[in-house]
Every structure is written in structure tokens, then in C-alpha cells.
Structure 1
Amino acid sequence: MDFIDLYCGAGFGARGAVAGGGVARLAVDIWQAATATYQCNFPEAHVITSSVDDVEPRRFDPALGADLLLTSPECTSHSLARGNRPADETSLETAISFMPWVDHFRPRWIVIENVARLRAWDRYASLCDQVARRGYEVSECLLNAADFGAPQARKRLFMICGRESSPPTVDALYPVHAPRRTARDIVDSDGTWRTTPLYSKRRAEATVERAERAIAELGRGVPFLIVYYTSDRAGGWQSLDQPLRTITTVDRFGLVTWDGNEPRLRMLQPPELLRAMGADRHLLDVGSRRDKVKLCGNGICSPVMQRIVECLRDIDNRVAREAA
């Protein structure tokens, strides 16, 4: 199943698609760190560093993308993570900017990934209508990566669109008999990374307060994660025995470990975040540490896309058998 990957990021979604039987043929993203990482992982793909709007799809053989089009438009302006900042309409418009690619390639399948709040966008109905008018049936699937074997609780909307066959529903994608993985599965506990004392003069008071709430709940000597940039009622921390909470584009997780009776702190590192994306075999060697954190925060958990592509291939195979 050949696929084209728009807003491809570092290729975590593509990693899942390849595991599900796909082949990356063409990928586009505006961020050089993302495309360099993608090219490193998928050397057979033609990778373009550019805005999707600035690439003319008619440059390419339409047969190149006849199977599957993946697109992950910018989600910042749809997400609660932007806080009180006003939505950027240019960013919002990326959700429909892939239509010329659909018109040129006419793929059998389209998979659109975004935050769940995309459905609250005042042009969401128009997006669905534009896809439907091109002959596609749309299945809206809200999927949590933790249910597919990723050690991260990451809920995302996947609009799975089929032109020649009905797309799989949520019920068809579930159940997945994958082991329930947790944050404990991703952390390096062998002393690889340098830690500093939790109680230091330079430590922010809010950080210490988060940690003390966790210690009061768990007891001393139990490792846990501090969760920054959160407005929920979980106290600003989480147990290692739950899937990691959603990775964002900024450093969000501090790991508290113990040296005897002394708590020590460090931030989770890119290799650990990579495991949380379910992309353990992915290469993440391009850019700064901050770039790598952002690449993970912008990505799609690989096991989810693997399951989707496996389902699409199963449908194609069934149709082919029935036609034979």
C-alpha cells in the first residue's frame, strides 16, 4: 500500500503505516528538522521541505498516491494547548489544504489525523462535506494510543475516508490485544541521565509543590513523574504505573527518583519520549534536544497508524478476493 504523507513530521505515523504494510513514496513538511528525520528513516521516499500549499501535486504521477493519503494538518489552533491565544486562521486552514492532492491522486483511502477539538471548528462540517462530495465515505474515530500498545494516553481524531470501500469504524479497529504499557516501560532507570536534587535553591516553588503532593500520596522512595503545563485536577504529577500523559511540543515531564532518602529530578529525554510514541526503532538524530521534544509532541503514535493501515489492507484484500 503506497502512501503520500502530508504534514509528515518526523515520520512516526509513517513508521506505523510501514509496519502495517505500507510504503512511503512522497512526504511534505515545512520544518527542515522534520523532513531530515523523515528522510533518514525512509530513504526510499521523496521528501520535500516546503509548505504543502506551495507544492503543486500535478508535478507527480497520479499513480504514486493511488492507495493512501495521510495528512496531519497543524493542530495548534484547534487545541486547548494554545491557552488563551487567539486561533490562527492560516493554521486552521491547513485542515482543508490537502484537497488539491485528493483531486489529483484520487487515493482509495485518506486518513486525516488531528486533535479531537477539530470537530468544534466552525468549518469542520465544510471539511466533511468537501471530502464527501469527492466520493468518500467518512468514519470519525476517536482513538487513544494507550489502547493500541503505546505507553502514552494520547487521544486523537482519525477521519478515515474510503472512496471505493466503506472505511473501518471504531468498533472494527477495536479490540486490540496489545499489552497495556505504562510510563515505567519507557524510562531509563540505569543512571544514564544526570539528575539534580529536588530541593535546591534554584528549583521553582511550583515544582516542589507538585512533587510534595506526589510524595504525600505515594510515600517516600517511590519514583513518579512531575507533569508541567497542566490545568487538570491530577495535582501536577502521575504514577509510573499509568500510560504517560500526552506528550506536547515542550518539555513536560520531570522524573523524580530516589538516592536513599533524597529525591532527585531530571526531565524525560528524547529516547524515552520516542518509546512513548511507540516508535522504538525510529531514528531521532537530527536537530537539538528541543527540536527532538517538539518532533515527538507533533507526532502520531505509531501503533495507532499501524492498526489503521492493517485494517485498510484487510479491506482491500477482501475486495480483491471477492472480485476474483
Structure 2
Amino acid sequence: MREIIVDSFAGGGGASTGMELALGYSPDIAINHDPEAIAMHKANHPETEHYCEDVWDVDPVKATRGRPVGLAWFSPDCTHHSKARGGKPREKKIRGLAWVVIRWAIAVQPRVIILENVEEFQDWGPLDEEGQPIPGEKGRTFESFVECLRQLGYVVEWRELVACDYGAPTSRKRLCMEMRRDGKPIVWPEPTHGAPDSLEVQAGKRKPWRTAAEIIDWSLPCPSIFDSDKEIERNYGLKVKRPLADSTQRRIAHGLVKFGFDNPNPFIVTVNHSGDGFRGQGIDQPLGTVTSKNGYGLVLPFLTKYHGEIKGQEARGQTLDSPLLTLDTSNRFGLVTANIIKFRGTNIGQSVNEPLHTITAGGNHHGLVYAFLVEYYGASIGQSLNSPLHTIPTHDRFGLVIVHLHGQPYVVVDIGFRMLTPGELYAAQGFPSTYIIDGYRANGRPVQKHQQVAKCGNSVSPQMARAMVQASVPELCVGSGRALSLERYKPAAGQMEFSL
């Protein structure tokens, strides 16, 4: 009798997709309480038997119906373990969801069990009356959890793995635990990708990390932050929020300071964190963790060479670049882009990927930044030279910023900004381009964009799951005697393609 595969806490299907990429078929059983998650899972894994129920309400014996379980994957809710929760109270019930692993281990004894969670899962311990972890008890519950599994005959090991090391363009880091009771040694997947400057990559042993730039759809418009929402809807047919929130504008400004003055590339800004400081990255790195809220924005600064009419005026300029950071459950990255133009001649601009031309400024926002002042106190991002100087404190707190690019005078003529789309976020997480993320219904209603983003942020990176499964149960994987595999995620000639 064939061993079956179980995906508990299946979500929108990240782990299941990784399993299918490794095994050649979808998991036999998928469990999740969320109707929207199950709807997405059904759309992509129609062969799977789905349980839209609380994990505690599913009887392992009845669900498996006497079939042996070769692999059971568990990704319990991580929000009440994660440091991203800050000082908010934790809930004991949610933190304790991982105990369902013990129930399955007792009831049906899976040959191999894999658990995926945030790194802080290792710190799992009791809470005080206010819902805060007790410092002196850190890790005590985790130790009890591991000991239970060992008493049930499982060998247990765990490691922290990063998705970009296995081919996903995201730097999402997760704790992976493997438990097995078949007497075979635990084998961890070898990274297939690495930092571009690492010895392994330089020697050709690994591929360089995939980057955020790969997953961005550059054909999509990136409207100016200075246009009104009505102008953007009229010109692009898009409904966006303008003007941007003050905190978002400050974060973009900080990003321009960090990425804009030496480097003419777009960058990513995170807009859904607390505080006004910059959080983001260039586009030449893996994207950060995707969260359940839309928080990644793309920024495109447009530069122009400055030739003032007053003698002595100097050049200003800036550049932008870096890889996208870890994805979590909220979309918290925005894209900022730039075109380069100069204040002479008739050319309207050039791509940021081309050598600098001799061109002139075009558009309505040229000359927005020539030089400006920054303040080293409070939350201010600075001020223009054309306005009265802000309040002078008792200490020296003002600095003059003059932008130079290759020794030439440039000014910012425009700044484009848009949020990353669900499709871009799923691509960053490592999902195949053919993965269905919209067009399906849950409870009779179309699934909304914010729900699609949430499923991405809550998902396992398919590439990391694939690597774990291939290392843990290679005997079940494609290439180990399996004759037929469903290649759902390969560009197909027809609706569906099989290969021998």
C-alpha cells in the first residue's frame, strides 16, 4: 500500500506545492480552518482531499483510513511566537497549536514528520498573567515538545534555513524540524544558491541568489507620488491612495538618502512598520519576508542633470539599488523607480540601465531636489532651501545635502511609487508562475486582493519545502523509480502535461 502525504496547516499551498515539485504529485490530505486558504489550495491541488476544519477537529485515524503515512508536514500559526509581534500579548491556545503533532505521532505514527515555523519557536515557553513570555522559562515548553517526540520513538533535529539558499528570491528565514522513526539518518538539504561574492558561487558550485529585480513586472506603471489620485486614475486607470501618508513619504525620503545618491537603480521600501526610519532594500538581493498585509512598495527616482542659471550652482544626483528582504504575512514593500534626465538639450530621458546621455528635463516635476537640508533631531526628514529655516536648537543640528552623480550636477525630477502586486509577491516567495492566486471563490464570493497577499505571507516557500522533502524522503521523489509525474508547474503545450 502506497504511503500517503499529509499537509496540516496547509494554507494556500506553499508546502504542498513544494511537495508536488519534489514528489510529482500533490499531498493526499490538506487541512486548514480558513475557507479562503482551502479555496486557493483546491484550485491548485484538486486531487487532494481537503478538510476545512480546525486541526484539532480532524481525527488522524479516520482521515488516513488505515493508510500508512510516509510524510506529515506541519506549519502551525507562528504569529504568537514571532518577534514581529513586539510587546503584544500572546495567546496560549495559538502558541500551543504545535501539540497537534504529538496527536498525529501517537495516532498514526508518520514515518517522517517535518515542522516549519519562525526561529523564535525554539523559545516556546509559558506565559505570565499578561500574556507575555516568562524570561526565565524561555524554551521550556519547546524542550518538553521535543522530549515527547523522542519518547514516541522519533529522532529529532532542527535547523534554521533561508529560502534564498534554495532558489527562492526571498530571504525568508524559518526554523525547520525533522522527526523520523524509521531508523534512517536525518539528512539536511545542501544549499543550491549563495551570496554572489561567496567562494561557492565564485567556484561554480552554487548559483547566485535570485533577486527582487527578477520578480518585478517592469511593464506595470509606477505613478508619480506628486500626482493626485484622480490624475492617476485618469492617466493609468489605477485606483491608488494619494497623497501618500506622511510616514510613507518619510520612509521614501530615507530610502532616497540611502540608495539614491550614488546609484541610479530602483529600490524597495517597506511601508507598514512602526516608526519613520527607512526599512527596505535594493533590488539586487532576495526580497525580504512577505507578510499578510500589503507593505512592499517600489520606488523609482527620476534624476536630471542640473545646469542652473546662477554661477556657482553645483551638480546634484542620486542612485538606487539592493535586493528585496524577507516576505512575511503583510505586503510591506513599495517600489521606487527613477529615470535620468538632464537640464539641457531636447531628450526627455533614458533608462536607468543605460549610460548617462546628454539630455534635458521633461515632465512636470523637474528640479524637485537640487540641494536640501537635513535635520538631526526629531522625526523631520529635512527641508528645502526655498523655505525658512526650521527652529534652531542649542546644538548644531542642520546639514546640507548636495547630490552628485559621477561628478555631474543632477536633480530629482520625479519619484514613482507603487505597491508590489500579489503576483510579484508570490513570485518572490518562490511559487511557480502558473500558480493560481485569483479567479477562484470562497463561500460563494471572489477572494479579494488583501486575502491573496495574506495567503502568500502565511505560506511556506515552495522551494525550501521542495529541498526539505527531497532530502528527507528521496525514495518517494521523482527520479527514484517513479515512472509518472504530473508536471503542473512546467510550461505546458496544452492544459495539462504528463511526462514519463
Task: Please report the TM-score for the alignment, with normalisation by the length of structure 2.
Answer: 0.59
| Matched residue SS, 1:96 | helix
Q: For the Cα contact (< 8 Å) 1:112–1:158, is it kept in 2?
A: yes
The Cα shift of 1:266 comes to 0.7
CA distance change for structure 1 residues 255 and 29 in 2, over 3 Å: closer, same or farther?
Answer: same
- Give aligned pairs, total: 315
What percentage of residue pairs aligned between the two structures are identical?
Answer: 30
Find the counterpart in structure 1 of residue 171 from structure 2.
153
CA distance change for structure 1 residues 62 and 139 in 2, over 3 Å: closer, same or farther?
Answer: farther
Q: Which amino acid aligns with 2:243?
A: R
Q: Which amino acid aligns with 2:286?
A: P
Distance in 2, matches of 1:59 and 1:165, equals 27
The Cα shift of 1:315 comes to 6.4
Q: Which amino acid aligns with 1:269?
A: T
Larger relative CO (CA 8 A, sep 6+): 1 or 2? 1
Select which of 97, 121, 139 maps to 2:100: 97
| Matched residue SS, 1:143 | strand
CA deviations on 1:182-231 (whole Å, 9 max, x unpaired) are 1101110012xx53322467222221222122222333752111112446
Distance in 2, matches of 1:178 and 1:26, equals 34
The higher radius of gyration belongs to 2
Find the counterpart in structure 2 of residue 215 from structure 1.
256
Aligned residue runs from structure 1 range 291-302, under 5 A: 291-302=451-462
Q: For the Cα contact (< 8 Å) 1:20–1:309, is it kept in 2?
A: yes
Find the counterpart in structure 1 of residue 15 from structure 2.
13
The Cα shift of 1:89 comes to 0.7
The Cα shift of 1:142 comes to 0.5
In the alignment, does 2:280 pair up with 1:237? Answer: yes
CA deviations on 1:42-66 (whole Å, 9 max, x unpaired) are 1111011110011122213454452
Higher deviation after alignment, 10-19 or 215-224: 215-224
| Matched residue SS, 2:98 | coil
Select which of 257, 264, 282 maps to 2:337: 257
CA distance change for structure 1 residues 60 and 214 in 2, over 3 Å: closer, same or farther?
Answer: closer
Find the counterpart in structure 2 of residue 132 from structure 1.
150
Q: Which amino acid aligns with 1:140?
A: W
Q: For the Cα contact (< 8 Å) 1:254–1:266, is it kept in 2?
A: yes
Pairwise CA RMSD of aligned residues?
A: 2.4
Distance in 1, matches of 2:65 and 2:149, equals 18
Select which of 197, 205, 209 maps to 2:246: 205
The Cα shift of 1:173 comes to 1.5
The Cα shift of 1:107 comes to 1.2
Structure ranking higher in helix proportion? 1
CA deviations on 1:25-54 (whole Å, 9 max, x unpaired) are 001100001011111111111011110011
Distance in 1, matches of 2:275 and 2:179, equals 33
Q: Which amino acid aligns with 2:10?
A: C
Find the counterpart in structure 1 of residue 189 from structure 2.
173
In the alignment, does 2:85 pair up with 1:82? Answer: yes
Q: Which amino acid aligns with 1:284?
A: I
Q: For the Cα contact (< 8 Å) 1:226–1:238, is it kept in 2?
A: yes
Distance in 2, matches of 1:315 and 1:128, equals 26
| Matched residue SS, 1:78 | coil
Find the counterpart in structure 2 of residue 308 from structure 1.
468
Q: For the Cα contact (< 8 Å) 1:151–1:244, is it kept in 2?
A: yes
Q: Which amino acid aligns with 1:196?
A: P
Q: For the Cα contact (< 8 Å) 1:111–1:159, is it kept in 2?
A: yes
CA distance change for structure 1 residues 60 and 136 in 2, over 3 Å: closer, same or farther?
Answer: same
CA deviations on 1:135-167 (whole Å, 9 max, x unpaired) are 111110110001111000000001011111345
Select which of 390, 408, 419 maps to 1:267: 419
In the alignment, does 2:268 pair up with 1:225? Answer: yes
Find the counterpart in structure 1 of residue 46 from structure 2.
43
Q: For the Cα contact (< 8 Å) 1:29–1:50, is it kept in 2?
A: yes
